Amino acid sequence: MECRYNLNSLGNRRIIYFDCMDCKNGGSLRDKNCLRSVFRVLTEKGNVDELQLRKMGYTEFYDEDQLGKLLEIIELRKNLLGEEVWAGIKDCKRSHGGWRAFIRDLLTKEIWNPIQAYEILVAVLNQYKNLGIQKKFDPNCLDTYLKTLNEIRIRFENTELIRSYLRGLKTHEIFKARIQPSFVTSTIKFDIPNGVKLVDLYRVGDTRIMIYDLNGVDKLYLINPPELHLSPDDVNLLMRLKDRVIRKYALEIIHPMEAREHFKRIGFELLRNITDRLSREELKNLSEIFARYTAGYGLLEVLFKDEHIYDIYIDSPVGTAPVYVDHDKFGICTTNLYLAEDELERISSKFRSIGGRPFDEANPIMDMELKEIGIRVTGIREPSTFDGIAYSFRKRRERPWTLPKFVDEGMMSIKAAALLSLIVSGQRSILITGPRGSGKTSLLSALITEIRQNDRIVLMEDTPEIPTNSLRGLGWKIEHLRNRPVVSRHHEDSYELSPEENLRAALRLGESILIMGEVRGPEARVLFEAMRVGAAGNTVLGTIHGSNPYDTWDRITNDLNVPSTSFKAVDVVVSLGYREEREISKRNRYLRNITEVRKKWEKNPQIENGFVDMMLYDDETGNEVYNLKDSDVIREISIRKGMSLDECNANLELRGRMIETIVKMSGKENVKELLEINHVLSANREYIKLMNEQTPNGHIDYKKLYNDWKKWFGKYVKGLKTEMKS
């Protein structure tokens, strides 16, 4: 019985899928009938890049190297038939016609099983070594016939398949399949080149992650999930479970956000009814795998949960190139995961259900948030692409970044972090500028943690990236407004307000600190006008795409049509960028400069000395250069706080010493948790408490304040370590 098959093209890759569900021996190139079917199809279809044999519970994958052994035999067959190698014996007596028929049959029938065909050929040659048999034939004809057979034998032996056979390899050793459970439709490759170096090894949940340095520059992020190591009995259980769920629950209407936990719970209960051989822990593990591939995000979940990953990229056409990621330690890494088209379509359908918006040829761009896991999803498809669906996933931390954590990560120095802390406490308006992925939103969330908790915050975003719930839970008062996403701004049926409408509403909400997730449209004009006349409250924080203060001013005034003088409402521009170390592909995010915007200029702040760097990173020396002595911003902060300039500088120094202590203690005591917001918040609260205790005296003794705070912090760390041990 011939197996059913279909041929698909993914970009420039051709893949043949065989349905081996009804095959007697399960479907494998180790089976001669299956090998015959595959050989015939390859002969008919030509070059193929991958073969998949789909059978009950498992799929066998054969790559180009394995198929190349068969394609080489097919090419040999084609050449021998084209040459009519039997032509030399056509003049022999009619009784020798069987020789020609044998050669034709060998090349048209027996060759479907190349090893068997070779064995038959060798057996026939050995048979004619018998002198008694040789005397029955015309010597000249026999000599021609044996020379022809030997030529065919030699050409067979020059193929990789027959050479492997002659080295003693068995069929399963010649055709090495990569085997996966059939519910894992995406491809996971483990072809690790020789001589590579393992540079990191850790776990994400139940999945092993191995990172290899391939050549000193490129990195391989290798996923090794537990589903690849399930026993046949466990795979069979999951297949039975899937069939039961389809029959029993197919018509249930479940909210997409709740579907995964729902199917996990159902899977656990049904598995418990199907079998009694598994422990509770094993049942939980299997139900987790089941939920991942039915209502979850498949193997993308592993990448979503890896705290070391910032961004995940899937290029079109899907399946032809691996997924790649941006890793916090190793930069851009290629993974060993190739998503299947049907898997990505299933996940896309889930995205559509969650986002409530179409994603099709009429609406080829998707921009949404997976709130439950903190992932921003951007998708694009035809007609905006040539080759299908592509995705970019941006991860955000569930907890906001903190300035001490940025210092620990090497993004900024202690003094720069202290300066930013002072600027925020002085209620100055700040714009954070930088290219995509430079950490603008992360820094914005860190600056929010420096805002006093008794101040009201109005936060505006189109896609939620600031961890608002975490901040609210810790005591910040935040009103979160939702802007209409960029991709929906021209859709009349969009239910969100435009950013400019939302901004006008925010300005009527009363005295508050206004935070713009990203300034990028017509709302900029409304925002800067409100800032200029003082209607935007005490402080405005926001982010914008740019590279430096001048680039930011140019974009706001020329691209967004904000009057140039309105830009004076900005007090400070914080510029972020990437720094690449020699011979290392990883890009390090870093703080390039903190620039104050002075007010005595008319047309161009760059020409008229309107931009003055308070802090500048010198790329040549790798050092930070500070200019705070004549800073208007420092002077205005000191006036606002009722301090002298000396006191303001002492306050700046104190903030730096506290940040330095937090960072050093986190390393010395091996408690990186100290860098997280809940502990930094406790440290800041103690600082405010100690400051308030000294304020009635009319003079702040910053040395005593720091010593008292440091003593408290030492006890705090000791208590935290005791708590972590218990």
Domain boundaries in the chain?
Answer: 1-182, 227-395, 403-629
Q: What is the pLDDT of residue 489?
A: 42
Q: Which residues contact 202 (CB under 8 A, 6 or more apart)?
A: 209
Comparing CA positions, the residue from 418, 431, 428, 633 lying closest to residue 524 is 431
Q: 254 or 265: which carries more pLDDT confidence?
A: 265
Q: What is the pLDDT of residue 156?
A: 92
Edge to edge, the sheet with strand 390-395 lists 197-204, 207-213, 219-224, 331-335, 324-327, 309-314, 390-395, 375-380, 365-370
Lowest mean pLDDT among 1-15, 427-441, 667-681: 1-15
344 within 8 A of 465, measured Cβ to Cβ: no
The Cα 680–Cα 408 span in angstroms is: 13
Comparing CA positions, the residue from 73, 74, 13 lying closest to residue 46 is 74
Q: Which CATH class is domain 227-395?
A: alpha beta
For 12-63, write each residue's pLDDT tens digit: 778 888 888 777 666 777 777 788 888 888 888 888 888 888 888 888 888 8
According to DSSP, residue 629 is labeled T
For 330-343, write each residue's pLDDT tens digit: 889 999 999 988 88
Reported as a pLDDT band with limits 50, 70 and 90, residue 111 is confident
Q: Is the peptide bond before 464 cis (omega within 30 degrees of 0)?
A: no
pLDDT of residue 147 exceeding 60: yes
Cα dihedral sign for 484, 489, 493, 497?
positive
Tokens encoding 102: 């044998």
Q: Which CATH class is domain 403-629?
A: alpha beta
Q: 458 or 522: which carries more pLDDT confidence?
A: 458
Q: 561 or 23: which carries more pLDDT confidence?
A: 561
Tell me what the pLDDT averaged over the chain comes to.
Answer: 85
Q: What is the pLDDT of residue 582?
A: 52
Section 474-481 average pLDDT: 89
Q: What is the pLDDT of residue 317?
A: 87
616 within 8 A of 607, measured Cβ to Cβ: no
Q: Which of 87-91, 557-561, 677-681 has the highest mean pLDDT?
A: 677-681
Comparing CA positions, the residue from 204, 203, 223 lying closest to residue 212 is 223
- What is the β-pairing status of strands 309-314 and 337-338? unpaired
The Cα 49–Cα 320 span in angstroms is: 11
- What is the β-pairing status of strands 309-314 and 324-327? antiparallel
599 within 8 A of 384, measured Cβ to Cβ: no
Comparing CA positions, the residue from 423, 427, 426 lying closest to residue 539 is 427
pLDDT of residue 664 exceeding 70: yes
pLDDT of residue 490 exceeding 50: no
Lowest mean pLDDT among 108-112, 239-243, 289-293, 534-538: 534-538
Helix (H, G, I), strand (E, B) or coil at 17: strand
220 within 8 A of 196, measured Cβ to Cβ: yes
pLDDT of residue 695 exceeding 80: no
pLDDT of residue 694 exceeding 90: no
Lowest mean pLDDT among 374-388, 439-453, 571-585: 571-585
Q: What is the pLDDT of residue 145?
A: 84
For 595-638, write each residue's pLDDT tens digit: 999 988 888 889 988 999 999 998 888 889 999 988 999 999 99
Q: What is the pLDDT of residue 682?
A: 95
What spatial distance separates the first Cα and last Cα of the chain, rounded to whole Å?
A: 65
pLDDT of residue 388 exceeding 50: yes
399 within 8 A of 470, measured Cβ to Cβ: yes
Reported as a pLDDT band with limits 50, 70 and 90, residue 192 is confident
Lowest mean pLDDT among 408-412, 414-418, 649-653, 721-725: 721-725
48 within 8 A of 115, measured Cβ to Cβ: no
pLDDT of residue 670 exceeding 70: yes
321 within 8 A of 268, measured Cβ to Cβ: no
